[in-house]
Amino acid sequence: MTSTASVILASSHLGFALSPTQVASGSVIGSGMGRKGTTVRWNMVGKIALGWLFTLPAAGVVGALTALLVKTGVVVW
């Protein structure tokens, strides 16, 4: 967890945008790969990767629908 906090704080200081969830997941996967006697559940890694893959398009769709609702006057902002 120290590595996760370090990466998040360093990137924040440098002005980089990142997802703390992705950093935490990556560090957990990396620690599982780097320790002797531990195994990585690759099916879980695949699920995490799919979640990352669908996050950006889903956010775009939600943003577009929200903009459409505001533009048509259904929702007053």
Taken in order 4, 22, 63, 74, is the CA torsion positive or negative? Answer: negative
Q: How far apart are CA 71 and CA 19, in angstroms?
A: 30
pLDDT (tens digit per residue) in 51-76: 888 988 999 999 999 999 988 988 76
Measured at the CA of 19, the angle between CA 66 and CA 22, to 5 degrees, comes to 120
In terms of Cα–Cα distance, which of 57, 7, 59 is closest to 28?
7
pLDDT (tens digit per residue) in 13-39: 888 888 777 788 887 777 777 777 777
The residues spanned by each domain of the chain are 2-72
Give the mean pLDDT of 3-21: 82
